[in-house]
Every structure is written in structure tokens, then in C-alpha cells.
């Protein structure tokens, strides 16, 4: 019963013009952050230095690649 109500609520939200963009973006972010829901969630956070002095960016490590 609860899943059906949730499904109908999600359907209604996806029909709203501005809200659907916010909802889908927040759903993707929560899926990426939560390792319980998604096996491709990020494992670590990295700080990457840019070529310009004093500028940094955050990166998310999702997997490892071994080069041969």
C-alpha cells in the first residue's frame, strides 16, 4: 500500500513543471551519495589542484582502474 502511494506521489511530482527538475536532481544526488541504494556510489572524495595557483576542485572517486 505504501509503495503505491509513493509511486502516485512521485508521478504527480514528475508532472509539475519546475518541481520535477529539482526532484530528479535531488534524487540523483541522493542515489550517488547513499552506498546502500547504489553500488556505483562514490567511495572517496578527492581534492584536485588546478593549474592556477590557489584553485582547487572536489572530485568523487567511484572506481579504480589498473593499467597494465
> What is the reported pLDDT for 26?
85
Mean pLDDT taken over the chain: 80
Helix (H) or strand (E) holding 20: helix 19-33
Provide the residue-wise pLDDT of the chain in tens; the chain has 68 residues. Answer: 788 888 888 888 888 888 888 888 888 877 776 666 555 566 788 898 888 888 999 888 877 788 88
Closest CA to 57 of 65, 68, 48, 44: 48
Overall pTM surpassing 0.85 (yes/no): no
- Domain locations along the chain: 2-61
User: pLDDT at position 1, please?
Assistant: 76
Amino acid at each position: 500500500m505504501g509503495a503505491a502511494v509513493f509511486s502516485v506521489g512521485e508521478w504527480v511530482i514528475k508532472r509539475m513543471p519546475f518541481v520535477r527538475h529539482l526532484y530528479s536532481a535531488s534524487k540523483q544526488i541522493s542515489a550517488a551519495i547513499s552506498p546502500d541504494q547504489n553500488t556505483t556510489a562514490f567511495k572517496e572524495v578527492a581534492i584536485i589542484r588546478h593549474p592556477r595557483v590557489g584553485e582547487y576542485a572536489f572530485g568523487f572517486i567511484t572506481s579504480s582502474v589498473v593499467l597494465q
